Amino acid sequence: KAEQSEQGMANPLKKRFWFLLILFVILAIFASVTIPKSPYFLFADETPAKVIHVSAMQFAFYLSEQAIDPKKPLGESIQLPANELVEFRVTSLDVNHGFGIYDGSNRLITQTQAMPGYVNRLRYKFEKPGKYNIFCLEYCGVAHQIMRSSFIVK
C-alpha cells in the first residue's frame, strides 16, 4: 500500500518537473529573442551627431542646443538632421512629465520621462524628414493636455 501511494506521488512530481522545464525553456527563448531588442541599448556605442537639451515645465517643453538655465528657461525652434543619431537630455523643472515623440502620422515612436533632479538620455535616429510632435505623457496638472512642442527633421 505504501508503494502505491509513493507511485501516486511520483507521477504528479514528474508532471510538475516537465511542466516547469518546458515553461523555463519557453521563457528562456522568449527572453533571448526580446532582450536584445530592448531600446535601452540602442545606439549605446555611437557618438550622437547632435545633443538637444529638453526641460519640461508646467505646461511647456523647452528645447535647446545649449544647456537650459532653470531660472529663465528659453526654448528654440529645433531642426534635426535625418538619419543621424540625436540625443535628447531630458529633465523637468517642476513635477514629473512624460516626453513622447510622435511622427507625422501621430504614431508614438519613442519616449522617456522628464523628472526633476534627473537627466534622462533618449537616443534616436529619425529616418523620415518632416515635423515631429512632442506630447506630455504623464498627467502633470490642469493644463496637461495642452503641453506640447514640435521640431523639424531635415
Binding residues for ligand CUA (CB under 6 A): 56, 97, 136, 138-140, 144, 147
Shortest distance (Å) from residue 80 CB to ligand CUA: 22
Confirm if 61 and 75 have CB atoms less than 8 A apart: yes
Cβ 151 to ligand CUA shortest distance, Å: 17
Nearer to ligand CUA, 86 or 134 (CB): 134
Strand partners, 116: 92
Q: Can you read off the three cell numbers belonging to residue 143?
A: 493644463
Are the beta carbons of 63 and 52 closer than 8 angstroms? yes
Tell me the closest approach of the beta carbon of residue 145 to ligand CUA, in angstroms.
Answer: 8
CB nearer to ligand CUA: pick between 101 and 136:
136
Q: Which is nearer to ligand CUA, 42 or 95 (CB)?
A: 95
Query: Nearest approach, Cβ of 109 to ligand CUA (angstroms)?
Result: 19
| Residue 13, H or E segment | helix 2-34
User: Smallest Cα–Cα separation from 149: which of 136, 138, 139?
Assistant: 136
